[in-house]
Every structure is written in C-alpha cells, then in structure tokens.
Amino acid sequence: MNAINASSVASIRSPKSLAEICADVRAGRSSARVRVDAFLAEIAARDGEIHAFNEVHADAARAAADAIDATVKAGRDPGTLAGAVIAIKDNIVMREGHTTCSSKMLANYRSPFDATVIERLRAAGAIFIGKTNLDEFAMGSSTENSAFGATRNPWDTSRVPGGSSGGSAAAVAAGFCDASLGSDTGGSIRQPAALCGCVGFKPTYGRVSRYGLVAFGSSLDQIGPFAHSVADAALVYDTIVGRDALDSTTADSPSTPLAAKVAEPLTKLRIGVPREYRSDANAPAVAAVLEKAIVAAKALGAEIVDIDLPLTDIGISTYYVIAPAEASSNLARYDGIRYGHRASLAPGDDLEDLYSKSRAEGFGPEVQRRIMLGTYVLSSGYYDAYYKRALQARRLIKEEFDRAFTQCDVVLGPTSPVVAFPFGGKKDPLSMYLCDVYTVNTNIAGIPGISFNGGYADELGTKLPVGLQLQAPAFAEETLLRAAAMLERACAD
C-alpha cells in the first residue's frame, strides 16, 4: 500500500491558480515547454504504478508547448489557457493518438477529427498531454472495468480512484497535469473527483457540446473538467461552454465568463440539506465531513434549510433502465462490420456469428451486462413496464428538484456514501451501482453538480479524501461555482 507522495500534495495545494500560471506563460515569465517537460517527468516516474493514462502524447505536447513559447516570443497572445497542461478522457476524440474508450472494441481506432471541446481548448492555448483510462465505454464506478488494466488511487494505490473517469481524476490528483476532461453520465466526473480529492464539475445538460464524445447515454452524458480548485475548473469550463452547431442538444443560453467571479462571496445563500443525504448508509467519516461543512456554511452566514428529496432512492433503478437502454442503442453500431473489432470466422459461420463473436470478443462483461439489460427493457412486452415507467419517474425527479430549489439556492450532500474502497471490494454489481446514489439524479434531472474536497477520513492509518457535492438549478452555474468556492475555502481552513 502506497499513500500519495509529498510532490503530489504540493501540486494539489499549489499557491498559484491556473489563471495565474497561464498569465505567467502569456507574459513570458514561465515557459510552456519547461512545464510540459516537468509533467512528463512526473508521469514517467510514477504512472507505471498509478496507470492514469492509456497513452501519453509526449512529442505532440512538446511541439505544442514550443509553438506557444514561440508565439509569446513573437509578441502575440497564444490564448487564455496558454501553457495549461490538460489530460483527456479516452472517450473524447482527438486527432492525436487513439480513442479506445478503454475497450478492445476500439483498441486501434484513430479519430480523423477533434471533438468540439478539444478544438476550443486547443484554440485557447491548452496543451494535451495524453488520454486517460476509464471504465470501458464509461460504464463503471471504479475504473476496474478497463480492458487495459485498472487505474489506482494516488492517495492509496491499493484502492480504486472511482469511475468511470478514474484516470482523469487520478491524473489531476497525482500532479500529472493542471486539469483534465471527463464525461459524466451518472456521476462519472463527481464520484472519482470525490475519491481522489480534487474538483469535478458536471455542467447543466446542453451547456457543453457532446460532439466527439463517444456516446453512452445520450440524454444523460455531459463533458466537464477536473481541476485542483473550483476556480481552475471554472476557467476550463469557460473555454468549453457554449452553443455548437454540430450538437443540436447544446443550449442556446448565454454564459458569461465565471472564473473571475468564483472568488466573489454570495451574501445571501440558502443551502438545502436533504434528509435523505444524511443516511445511515453513509460511512461515518463521510457523515462527519458533511456535518462539519454545514457548521462552516453557517459560520459564513449561509442559511441551512432542511429539505426532502424522497425520490433519491429510486434514482438508481431509474438510471439503470434509462442509461442501459440508450447504451444498447448507441453501441449497436459496433457490429464487426461498420465499427470496431472484427472477429475471425470459422467455416460455415454466417453474419449472425460475425456479430455475436465480434461483440463477445470486443466488449467486456460490464458492457455486455448493460447492453443486455438495455435491450431487455426496450423489447416488446417490457417497454411499458420498464422504460416508459422510468421516463415517468425521471419527470417526477426533475419536478422534485424544481420544488426543492424554491426553498434553497443549492443542495449540499456527500458525493459518495463511501471513501475510496479497495480493489475488488464491491464484487456485486448492485453494491457498485449504489456508489452513485447521490449523483445519478443530477443527470436524470439535467442540472449541474460539482464535487469538491470537504475533508479527510483515516482508514487504517491512511489519509483518504471525502468529497462533498453541490447541485443547483439548470443553468445556475454561477451560483453553483461561487457557493462551491466559498465552501471549498471554508472546509480547507
């Protein structure tokens, strides 16, 4: 068992914000190439143990850094994120390297184009250092389901980093990059951020383009950033947010830059704490950190409002009907002919054999489980009993949040009921699914949520982070981020 080392903690507690780091690069006070080389050295020294990355794009990152330094030397502005070193979850396409979704099905896939979020970050001067590991096709909560091996938690390498964006969270926590991108379908940004002690932000559905994100659940998926602080996450979000003609689900709703606003305290803030989030199922350390945060919020002048979200408990069952149903449809394209791995056929095999063998060889057990579940709930005779009822429950969950937000501005609770657990600690799929009990309803309702580090647990002498989550009404990212920054500072004191 190896705990997080001192250099990683120093990176997490860096005295400079990402905005200050980029300002130094833009002014020539710091070199983008020097920064990239330092991160690459850290990755070379320590990622063999952690496995945050599926691929490291060392040459491309150095070339991009050199181009930024040359632009600065020539007296031109390379962009607001100049020199920011960012890792990308391996289900977001980009021209460099492969996009595998940590699956044998796409092990050799190279994208001919960049996702919209990649284009926007690239135009702002960001440098991409590599593609991060994930649960296969983003289906999981521990990053144990990757076809290329599990990612380990930098705080304790005998424990999971969470998932499905475990590689992106671990890369930030380990000090391998300034920030990273992940995708969140039912908590896949916020839960690993909580277990790895960094910030993970899921914007409102439609705030950020999904063009170039390999689809899991199209009505639930959302791209968002991991970072060392709320302010850093806001800076990355400011770059990727906005309407995209290539994604018809992006919202035509203006978003003003928020990075400079997050430090502004909210003079009047009503924080709702659901009774359901103070569950006996929470680990004692998680419950203690939540209560400490409530005390800190009161000291800041916030009003604490007891609220009820009684549909919290049906979120998991609702999610595990809707998400697999959409996955079943989205992954149907991987048939061994149009996309993905193609199996070798034996004499006498037909087209059906090609389909079944290609999918059996290309998809791992968890992906197969969810495809079969999704196909079942969409099948004739079961559609009304399962999928239609799940959609009705989805509407009720959204209405429940709408009512809650008439009483409060944000909702506070744990991100995960447990801290990072040992590998193999949750062999039963249902026990793994329950790790997302506080996060799935955020996606079901389409509202924004953010996880930040609220404190620490002592597990057999090992220090492990405990994440707290804030949720806000749709398109209320400014309130959410400012409230999160306030509590982040209070919990760090």
The residue assigned the tokens 């020097």 is: 34
Taking CA atoms, 75 is separated from 21, 29, 68, 72, 264, in Å, by 18, 13, 11, 5, 32
Known active-site residue 146 = no
Distance CA 39, CA 29 (A): 18
The amino acid at residue 320 is Y
Residue 246: closest CA among 131, 372, 116, 342: 116
Strand intervals (E) in 159-257: 179-184, 199-202, 222-227
Three-class SS state of 98: coil
Which helix (H) or strand (E) covers residue 443, if one does?
helix 440-445
3-class SS of residue 121: helix
Residue 472, Ramachandran bin (φ over 0: left; ψ between -120 and 50: alpha; else beta): beta
Tell me phi and psi for residue 372, to 5 degrees: -65, -40
Residue type, 226: F
Cα separation, 312 vs 281, in Å, equals 13
209 is catalytic: no
Q: Which of 142, 188, 416, 451 is catalytic?
A: 188
Q: Is 165 a catalytic residue?
A: no
Compute the distance between CA of residue 424 and CA of residue 142 in angstroms, rounded to an integer: 10
Strand order, beta sheet including 270-274: 53-56, 127-132, 85-89, 179-184, 222-227, 199-202, 449-459, 462-471, 410-414, 270-274, 303-307
Dist. CA 450–CA 184, nearest whole Å: 11
Catalytic choice (89, 131, 357, 426): 89
Which positions ≥6 away from 380 have C-beta within 8 Å? none
Nearest Cα to 371, choosing from 203, 41, 139? 139
- Tell me which H or E stretch contains 360: helix 351-362
Q: Cis omega (within 30 of 0) on the bond before 180?
A: no
Give the Cα separation of 321 and 383 in Å (integer): 10
CB within 8 A of 473, min separation 6: which ones?
401, 402, 405, 447
Cα-Cα end-to-end distance for the chain = 29
DSSP bridge pairs for 180 = 87, 226
Please pick, among 164, 165, 180, 183, the residue that the annotation labels catalytic.
Answer: 164
Contact 194, 465 (CB under 8 A): yes
Catalytic center residues: 89, 164, 188
